[in-house]
Amino acid sequence: QKEVEQNSGPLSVPEGAIASLNCTYSDRGSQSFFWYRQYSGKSPELIMFIYSNGDKEDGRFTAQLNKASQYVSLLIRDSQPSDSATYLCAVLSNQAGTALIFGKGTTLSVSS
């Protein structure tokens, strides 16, 4: 069973804090890992992708991948109210062809 698990939240953080979003996956053969942001009523937007173990930083976002633990996370520094959205973790698995396996998403709420 190919699965991607996320805590549904809501995760509530104050403005300026670090938001930490976590994701685990079951297929050890997974190759690529993605974080999408989806605002209510809108389609998902790709914000980060990571292929290798370790950290990848892009502005206020840092993706962290640990293949041994089958764990990928997204850190959002200096969180802003505009970051309030649902964050979807997605995984590319050898067993699923080119289709991504999506988690159900974590809802983040940043209060001002």
Burial category of 41 from C-beta neighbours within 10 Å (exposed 0-12, middle 13-18, buried 19 and up): exposed
Q: How far is the CB of 46 from another protein (least distance, A)?
A: 6
Whether residue 10 is preceded by a cis peptide bond, meaning omega within 30 degrees of 0, is yes
Q: Which is nearer to another protein, 77 or 94 (CB)?
A: 94
Chain residues that interact with another protein, rule: CB under 8 A: 31-32, 34, 36, 41-46, 49, 51, 88, 90, 92, 97-100, 102-105
Q: Kindly tell me which of 18 and 46 has the beta carbon lying closer to another protein.
A: 46
Q: Please say which residue, 26 or 32, places its beta carbon nearer to another protein.
A: 32
Per-residue CA distances from 14 to 11, 24, 70, 75 (Å): 10, 25, 29, 14
CB of 16 to another protein, least distance (A): 29
How far, in Å, CA of 2 to CA of 4, rounded? 7
Min dist CB 51 to another protein, Å, is: 7
The least distance separating another protein from the CB of residue 81, rounded to whole angstroms, comes to 21
DSSP assignment, residue 70?
Answer: T
